[in-house]
Amino acid sequence: MVGAASFEASLRQLARDLRARGHLVLAAFLLEVVPEAGAVRTGEQRGLIADRLRRLATAEDLAPQLRASVVQLADLAADAIALRGHGGTVWIAWEGHHDDGSHGPRPAETLEPGYWVSWQADREDEGAWWEDGPWFTDLRKALVWARERTDAIIVRPAWDEGTHYWAGRGADPRHLPPLDESRA
């Protein structure tokens, strides 16, 4: 279940799956701690979600496949930032309307242009992908999400879709131009 979708989208999908299988109380128990929109912003929120998911994993009459999804998300909630540390690189890219009328990787249900974010490893032995974030229409919010995870942030902004900018902390090892955050 966890893959290209954001952590939060995966949690909401799990709640839908629980409801579909008649576990209405369990779905509500999970959704009490999941933001209705946007991202889980703090380690404290992730810890609360991990705790809820671990408690859900012990529920009786939970199908094995559903239980496996609950456990996988609990591990991700507990370990995503702690396990990875404050490392890797977050890539932020504007996805607007393309000349041919098509759209980029934005969620199909989202009609407005915005930023996709992806937290990725810097070394192949760590796996290429760690977490895709939620869809952001505001670059400032995407930067907050990114800075909770790493100091290395590369942005392709709406005002210059063809250029990558450095929005990270410290020296840029890639020698990209710095992002002018006053334009965000």
Give backbone dihedrals phi and psi of 86, rounded to 5 degrees, phi first. Answer: -95, 65
Could you tell me if residue 2 is inside a domain?
Answer: no
pLDDT number for residue 61: 87
CB 39 within 8 A of CB 31: no
List the domain range (segments joined by +) for residue 79. Answer: 7-84
Q: Specify the number of domains making up the chain.
A: 2
The label of the residue with tokens 């070394």 reads 123
Could you tell me if residue 71 is inside a domain?
Answer: yes
Per residue in 118-150, pLDDT (tens digit) is: 888 776 655 566 777 778 899 999 998 888 888
Could you tell me if residue 57 is inside a domain?
Answer: yes
pLDDT at 44 over 50: yes
Instruction: Mark whether 15 and 56 lie in a shared domain.
Output: yes
Q: Which two tokens stand for residue 32?
A: 């009490």
pLDDT band at 83 (very low <50, low <70, confident <90, very high): low
pLDDT number for residue 99: 47
The model's pTM is 0.55
